[in-house]
Amino acid sequence: MKLLLTDSGIKNASIQDALAGLLNKPVTESSALCIPTAGYGSPDADPGGPWRFISGRSPHPMTGLGWKSVGVLELTALPSIDKARWVTWVQEADVLLVNGGDALYLGHWMRESGLAELLPSLHDTVYVGLSAGSMVMTPRIGQHFVGWKPPGGGDSALGLVDFSIFPHLDHPACPENTMAAAERWAAGIAGPAYAIDEQTAIKVADGAVEVVSEGHWKRWGP
C-alpha cells in the first residue's frame, strides 16, 4: 500500500503532485472510496462534518478533486455486510480517502470491520489520510490526542508505519498545538515522530518515507 498522510488534505501543488505520482494515472481516471467514520468519534463531532467530507464541501480537499467516481465505505456498517462484497469494493478502488476526527475511534472500527487486516495486502492502492486518518496508521498517537477511549484503553493505533504524527502544528483553530506542545508530545513517544502543519504531508512508498511540504514541520528520533 502507498500512503499519503496529510494534515489537512490536498492543500497545495506539492501534495497534489505527490498524489499524482502515487496514483500513476490522472485523478480523473481514478476511482475513490471515502471513509467518513473517524468524523463521528471526536468529542466535538457533529453530523455535518462527515457530510462535508463526503460531499467535497470540507475545507480539506479530498473527495472534490475530480475523481472518476467516489463511493462511501462506512466502517461501522461493514460487520453487517457480507465480507466478500465489501472486500471487492476496496480491492477495486484506486484510492482510499480517510476522514479526520478521532484516530482511536477510527482504529477501533478498522479492526472491528476487518479493514485493518486487509490493508497490508493492497499493494497498488493509494491510502490518503486526513489528520486522524493519517494518525491511525502510526504505532501510537500520544496522550495529547486521546479523546475517544478504546475498550482496552491506551493510545495504540494500527502501527502500519513506524513513526507517529502530531498534526495541525501552529494552526489557529488548534491553539494548543504549538511547537512547545509538540516537543513535549515527542518526548513521550518511544520512536520516530513528526510534527506537521496543514501545508505538509508524509509520503510512504516502497518503504521510503518522504516529507512533502510547503509549510512547517519537524522530525524527532532516529
DSSP assignment of 119-162 equals GGG-TT-EEEEETHHHHTTSSB--GGG--SPPTT-S-B---SSS
Q: How confident is the model at residue 138, as a pLDDT? A: 98
The percent of residues in the chain predicted with pLDDT above 70, rounded, is 100
Domains in the chain, please, with CATH? 2-220 (3.40.50.880)
User: Is 42's pLDDT higher than 90?
Assistant: no
pLDDT band at residue 77 under the 50/70/90 scheme: very high
Residue 44 has pLDDT above 90, yes or no: no
- Grid cell at residue 183: 516537543
pLDDT, the chain, mean: 95
For 173, the grid coordinates are 483553530
pLDDT tens by residue, 101-138: 999 999 999 999 999 999 999 999 999 999 999 999 99
pLDDT tens by residue, 127-180: 999 999 999 999 999 999 999 999 999 999 999 999 999 999 989 888 888 999
- Mean pLDDT score, 24-50: 93
> Which of 77, 120, 106, 71 has its CA nearest to residue 92?
71
Using a CB cutoff of 8 Å and minimum separation of 24, what contacts does 69-73 make? 69/31, 69/32, 70/31, 70/32, 70/33, 70/34, 70/97, 71/31, 71/32, 71/33, 71/34, 72/33, 72/34, 72/35, 72/36, 73/33, 73/34, 73/35
pLDDT confidence bin for 215, thresholds 50/70/90: very high
Question: Looking at the predicted structure, is the pLDDT value of residue 222 above 90?
Answer: no
Q: Is the pLDDT of residue 190 over 90?
A: no
